Structure 1
């Protein structure tokens, strides 16, 4: 479970190569639906006794990546600029905050096996994070750290981007993992994956807007409180 452009493609490619069959969903938050954040109906999915992991990423990085996804990869793309996108209640920062907090609160407060997973923490320690995911979903099928380390190396962003450009992923994922324009890096599904990369795109006004919104939702404190129950 994740909001679009939270790093799920990277995680999915590794898990697919490890032959972990999972169901992936954005729970109605997809940019193609353009649902207003007030109309989101989160946390109603039934996990049917299976572990549910919610992947979340810095909303500012998520928003930038979402802008390029909606503008360059989706039919009837976004007509405005980034400043308009991050303020748009159908796509932008507030929608990401509302969605992420709803699922984080759900996963950490309910008496079930649901867990949360931070993209930033997974990037910092991918081998341990992937091992934890394997243990969560298939506790009876141990995989050696050597095998997991090999898959992590295989899924480096440079390598994945090159494979996307060469059409390697198209055989399995069709258009979901092919560039909108091979000559435009921002149109790639595997675009940058950079932590804190939003600072390369946000204006001073955008940074102030994001800071005020994060403070209004008390996002950092609520995220820190959830960390105690996080997968990694």
Structure 2
């Protein structure tokens, strides 16, 4: 049976199984049909990356019936679109540092993109997510970054577990938020090729990056153009409650005290996996 026919069959079956089967069956089916995973710790730039990929796929395959952040659904509109699943894996931001591990069984035989960001910018962004959007934390930021469940220790433990085990995955791609900023075209092109999207045109990639700029995404969020909660502010009047805040590299220095910056610098320098050595030094906001 031709590959397109098989994918069309999966598409029809997938629509039915989602309505009729128990959750564990749905999870197994999703894993079985997934072409590639995108794994990240929360607030590592996933929504931006997701929007760039989704917009490029929309332009290439004409899947505009779903919003660009719903890239995981586009395969239902065109069987040639790779099926992508975005995940925070073990949700390390909700777990004590001692409980964070790596379950490689799910990823070993699947293409997997690991998206990482400077832990200092990540943890500050997570603080605003937890206080302004989901409202799961109401303490000060200095206590937040030091807590053993969801603070910098949990974030570093998550990154370390992945860096130690990335070699066990048959096909993996490490992308950084900072590289997405510095060379977005090259990074998006590499990701699209890696997940099996075929020859996406250079013009479509460039247009996807333009349409997914922080200014454009902030405008979409403010206007409610994307119906899903993933791109909706906690409070339209509060800039810090937006999913898309500033996205600046090194912006943590504008939020944290010198004492808190020194604490994070020291913790990262002492504990972060050497393969992420680029983050073992202070970053200038810019």
TM-score normalised by L of structure 2 = 0.72
- 1:206 to 1:224, Cα distance in 2 relative to 1, 3 A: closer
Deviation at 1:28, TM superposition (A): 2.0
Q: Alignment partner for residue 260 of structure 2, among 197, 206, 217?
A: 206
Cα distance in 2 for residues equivalent to 1:149 and 1:72? 33
Which residue of the partner structure matches residue 14 of structure 1?
52
Deviation at 1:90, TM superposition (A): 1.1
- 1:79 to 1:45, Cα distance in 2 relative to 1, 3 A: farther
Which residue of the partner structure matches residue 125 of structure 1?
183
Structure 2 unaligned runs (5+)? 1-38, 58-81, 279-286
Contact 1:2 1:25 in 2 (8 A): yes
Cα distance in 1 for residues equivalent to 2:92 and 2:230? 13
Cα distance in 2 for residues equivalent to 1:149 and 1:71? 35
Contact 1:85 1:92 in 2 (8 A): yes
Cα distance in 2 for residues equivalent to 1:104 and 1:119? 16
Deviation at 1:44, TM superposition (A): 2.9
Pairing 1:178-193 to 2, within 5 Å after superposition: 178-193=232-247
TM-score normalised by L of structure 1 = 0.87
Residue-by-residue CA offset, 1:23-43 (whole Å, 9 max, x unaligned): 011012254xx2101101324
Contact 2:40 2:87 in 1 (8 A): yes
- 1:144 to 1:116, Cα distance in 2 relative to 1, 3 A: same
Pairing 1:103-142 to 2, within 5 Å after superposition: 103-107=162-166, 109-110=167-168, 112-138=170-196, 141-142=198-199
Cα distance in 1 for residues equivalent to 2:131 and 2:105? 29
Higher mean displacement: 6-15 or 210-219: 210-219
Contact 2:52 2:212 in 1 (8 A): yes
Q: Which structure carries more relative contact order (alpha carbon 8 Å, separation 6+)?
A: 1
SS in 1 for 2:86: coil
Which residue of the partner structure matches residue 129 of structure 2?
69
Deviation at 1:104, TM superposition (A): 2.0
Contact 1:73 1:187 in 2 (8 A): yes
Deviation at 1:46, TM superposition (A): 1.4
Contact 2:40 2:46 in 1 (8 A): yes
Which residue of the partner structure matches residue 216 of structure 1?
270
Cα distance in 2 for residues equivalent to 1:135 and 1:144? 11
RMSD: 1.7
